[in-house]
Amino acid sequence: MEFVDEYIDHFVAWDVLAYFHENQEALEKPSGIALEVGRQVDVVTPILKSLVEKGVLAVEIDTAVETEEFTYRYIARAEFRDKMEEFLSATRDRTNRLAIVGIVLQKEARRL
């Protein structure tokens, strides 16, 4: 649960991390990531920034276009990738998944 405490503080973070872990070569703009995970761009963007700060994602700025566009890619170290794989495996078990959902719900409730 230490992994959940550190990285899964929103359900959106869960979705974004799962997306990048399952698509490790993805190089995607926030709008594309939002579409892939079924969320709004304005909800996904702060999560992306947080994951960059935590060293899980890298951001690149395309200055060739009139408005700067950001693209994100997965740069997590092997240790993180192993923990992410363990997390995703744990979520396949109903009891574990419910425990994780409970933790995330508590975190989200504290922010309200």
The confidence score (pLDDT) of residue 67 equals: 67
Q: Report pLDDT for 66.
A: 66
Instruction: Write out the residue range of the structural domain in which residue 57 sits.
Output: 2-111
CATH number, domain with residue 96: 1.10.10.10
With a cut of 50, list the residues of the chain below it in pLDDT.
none
What is the pLDDT at residue 69? 79
Contact 15, 38 (CB under 8 A): yes
pLDDT score at 112: 78
What digits encode the pLDDT tens for the residues 8-34? Answer: 999 999 999 999 999 999 999 999 999
User: Exposure of 105 by Cβ count < 10 A (0-12 exposed, 13-18 middle, 19+ buried)?
Assistant: exposed
Q: Two tokens at 11? A: 């359900």
* pTM metric for this prediction: 0.90
